Structures are given as structure tokens and as C-alpha cells.
Structure 1
């Protein structure tokens, strides 16, 4: 198991931080994660020691920035077992997913074509395809989820047909935390001539992901959910598909030349997608985050989070006032409610006890009718959370009565 106490010393936010007079217990890691000192140092290093543009200058400092920037592209490629040419830097997973819907979907989808998704998707992986369907007159169909809310191979097979051109689903869902069997789904989709866009925002930070083994066509994730800076994301795409895809924006850096007649020659992927000055400091920070996670080990991270989840679920299941929605999640996400109390009111009570959780619809509004509630609370663990923090979380759950939750407002 991980040496969590040693790991926690790497994170300034975990060293003596208080909230509402209590030691902070941060279990909103599915929203964003804390940053280790090495990531903070990498960002500071850019502003302190480099602080010039990349891919623009013919002087030593610019060359140094170019080298560090492209080293991150290589690091990302190695992290997910891709080629560096297949790694596009964006502002986040949302930007990556929108780029595919805009640059590939609007270009190649036509009237009557089908986009296949499911009701558990995050808004960033369904709204771009809704817009694409509107503009191309294609249609969206949904894979039926099982009783738990899990997407199974069997139900995918039932939903798949020759009219499907795009499959857009998350490898790990952000509300229920179920892992989707992506390798099998990609194989079936390809047999029907469809491409697969995989939202990996909730999987890349928590488990090993190999795009060659899975054989997805596009994949998107964000840096800030994996100990990296905000403002940086990644789009992976098979190189031939990236070459077929239009950029979302045009501008400096993505073209080889253009002339007065309006002729534009774009660069090859990935550079044709990276117009303008990028978030250089965030890219360097992402590199540091990847190095940090790799040194700990993604298998070890995944196993530890599952242990925390199982430990917490075992104790929560014994509380009469807690409704659990995902007892069998495959990672560190626990979605629940306190009986007879609105989710945001419960979360406010947790706040008074120093515990940071997420309450609401979690950007997955299609899932609400299946859960039978308008909002839920989500606690999401990461590898720096401790058993002691889980015990304190359980203690607060036990004390979350109607009286205690409502008294915080008076």
C-alpha cells in the first residue's frame, strides 16, 4: 500500500489547512485535485527562469521552452501509450471533446446518422454531440443502463447498429463511478464502422489507461483532475483521424502558409489544432504531474482508492440515514444522500464540519430520473486521502440529522 503520510507532505493544501475551524478533509477530487509542490515548482520555474513564448523564437530561451513543451507531449504519449504526434494540447477535457464534435462530427456526420451515448454522460461529452446532431440532422440514441446504472457490453450490443457512426461515452462515469468495458465496446463499434470518443476525465487520473490496447479513436482528459494545473487538457486521436479533423480555431502557429487569395495550408497534427500562445506554464506543470503520478504507480493508486471506497461503503451501509446510489463503484466515487434532506443542505452541514463534498447534479442531468432524485452528494477520494479521514466522514454522516443540517442556517 501507499505511504500516504509521506505523500501528503508533498501537497501544501494538506499541511495544516483549516475549514470552518476544522482540519480540512477534501473529498471533492472528482471535481479537481490538489497540486503537489513539484507541480507548483514547475509552473513557477516557467515564470521565473523561462517566461518566453514557445514555437516562436530563434534564441536560446525560446529553444529551452520549445524543448520542455515538447517533452511534455512525449510524456503524455508515453503515459497513455500513444505517439507524440497524436497528442493535442487544449484548455481541458471539455475543449477536447468539443473539438472532436466540431472538427470531425460537423464535417462527416449527415442526416440520419446516429450518435450513440448513454444517460450517465457528463455534459461535456453529450452537449457537443447534441449541437452536432442539430446542425447535421443526425440523431442521438442512448444505450440502456442496467439496474445499477452501469453500461454493460450486452446492452451496448443491443443498441449498436449499422447506422451508428459515433460512440461517445466515458470510461468512468463521473456520478456513479462505474468503469465501462471500453476495449470490448471499441471492438464492437469498429466492426460496425463507427468511431469511439472516450471521455477519460475520471479514469486517466486514477488508473492505467492504454489507448493502443483499448483501441479508442479519440480520448480526452484534463490536467487539473490529475494533480496538474488548471487550463490544460489533452486530446488524443489516432493520427489519420486527426489529419481528417478540422481545427476549432485558426491563427498563429497552426498554419504553414496562407496568401491573399485565401489559400490556407495547415500544419499536420497536432500543431494544426494549437493556434496562438498556449498555456505554457500549465503544460510544464502537467509534465511534472505525470512524472509524480508515474513514480507512485497508477496500479497502486487505483487499488488504494478502491480500498477506501469499499471501507467507506461498508460503514455507510450500516447507517439508517444514508441513501447510497453506487455501492459497487469501481473507484473512489461515493454518491449518496441523507434521508429527507436536500443535497445542498447536507453538503452545507458537511462544510461546517470541515469536509468538502460536491452536491447537485454533477453536470449529468440526464441521469436524474434514473436516480429518482433531483440532486445527490458526491464524495470522491484520491490517493492522498486517509482511513482516518474516511472515519471522520462517516462520523459526520452519522450526525447528519435534519436538526443538525438545518441548524447551520440559523
Structure 2
């Protein structure tokens, strides 16, 4: 999207990666293969493109690309023939990698290097890995590889051992909120801090998800007359007001199935979708869980809009009971992915939750 980071300094929450890559380029100690690991949407492919730009940019400063020269602009728009992006999920076979090996031998057309960015590299077949390994073992000096993956544990050790590895962190909600505030300001739109915080929590560590949610909201506020509010966010992402979800959780914890179903219906009739409600319950009960084992408020993620005292509720409900509750919700969410009757599944989950025995006081 248009908010994709264009410099290492723009990578939110990945300062260690930015320093490492900019430093390597500035000092000329550039590895021939890097492995970027981390969850989806945290900036792996963006960082790979910035790295490709910085390698080629004649006007770079302190390892950062200038973003104005023709090479930088060509790479940013995907037009540069020496920067090749391969999606391993759809090109996973031996033929594609053989083709890549043949292309590797060809000198770069315009610059010093050819940079291969291979996304979701863990999807390659075993034969394809073996072919890639041959290239990684003796790469021509003009070739650089950046391998990106959400699942490094699936990579063969032979590949891992030949790459310099950078682990991208999931971005914490405050950092996402700060970045969203910058975007909103640049767009000349007003947004309440609570609304931005809600987007950040919903994105659960994925900078990209938070930005695509914000883009939907910017579309609504395009005429400039409106401020993006918590209500707008709830409407766009299909979640209930946190207050309503709080009442639902309280009813469940009180083991009042009738009140819990009424609270669920209230949230759904307000425009929330069933999956969104279960996700919110998961987030709030997770905070109760960590409180039940003695973690303090600094470990909470859900925010205080639910009107629930996570510490008191966690201690009262008990760890075993909360674990069972989270499993019920997780099961409901997993079933929803294959089902067309999401509301019934949410109702089943809520009734199960309200009917759960007190597992901590059974013995």
C-alpha cells in the first residue's frame, strides 16, 4: 500500500533490523544471503525492498536509500529487472528454482547486484530446497538473497546455516498507534486516540493489518467533515462495543447462560459479527488468565474499555477454568472458518462457557 515503509528508519518496531542492515551496507560487509523471519505484516518484504534499494542507490546516506533516484523509484514500483521477487507459495517446485539458478548466472542489467527476494520460502519442496542450496553454497559475487518466512522452523538446517538471520518482532500496540497517528496527521484527518488504539489492538502485532483497517476508515472520513471515532472502528471491523462484550463476559463468569445469550444478541444486533465477538472475548479472557497466575496490569493487552477488573475476575475465575474457557472460544473460532452458521457457533460457545464447571474448586 501507499504507507509501505521506504527507509529502514520507517520500519516500526524493528529497530534492531534497521540498524543491522543499514550498518552492513554502510560498512560494505554485506552478507550474500539474509533470512527474515516473523509474523505476517510486520515488515519483512518491505525491509527486503529497502535493502535492495540501499544496495543500488548511488546517493545513499548512512546505509539509507535516497528514494528519489531512478533506481530507488524503479525498485519501489517493482519495475527494476535486477530485483526479483519470487512468491514461494505459488512457485514451489524444482523447475522454478532451476530456472532461478540459470538466471542467477546472468550478470545484472543495470547495477552492481541482482537481489532475489523469496517470500514464504518454507513452502518450497525438498527438491527445490536442494537446488536453492547449491546456489547458496557458491553464489556469484553479484547475487544477493533475502529469504522471508513466517515459519523458520520448517526450513532445513542446511539453508539456515548459510543465512544471516534477522527476527522481526510483532509490533506492540503503542508503536502501531503512534505510526497510525502519523498517517492520520499526514492525511489531514482527525481520529480519536481511543479509535487508533482499538485498531492497533485488533491488528495484533501486524503493522500491515492495522494500515489496511485504517485505509478503510480513511475512506469513510474522506470528505474531511468527520473524526474517526471508536464507533466507526467497531462498525468497520465487525466488533461489538467493548462495554457490551464486558457485560457478556461478566454473564459468562457469573454462569448465567440466559443473560449471556441476551448480551451476545445485543452485541450482534449492534452490528458486530460473531467471529469478532469471540475474538474480543478471547482477548479479554486472556488478560484474566495472565492475571490469574499473578501477572500485573503491565501484561494486559485488551485495554480498559471492557469495564472488567481483569485482576479480580482472573483470581475469582481461576486459572484452570480460564484455560478451559479459552479452549472453548478457540474451538468455536476454528469451526467458524469452515462453517456458514457462525451465529449458532457463537451461541454454542457462550452456552458452553456459562455452563462450565468451576474447574479450580473441583478438588
Does the alignment reach a TM-score above 0.5? no
Larger Cα Rg: Structure 1 or Structure 2? 2
- In the superposition, the TM-score normalised over structure 1's length comes to 0.26
- In the superposition, the TM-score normalised over structure 2's length comes to 0.29
- Higher normalized strand content (fraction of residues): 1
- Higher normalized helix content (fraction of residues): 2
Structure possessing the higher relative contact order (Cα contacts under 8 Å, 6 or more residues apart) = 1
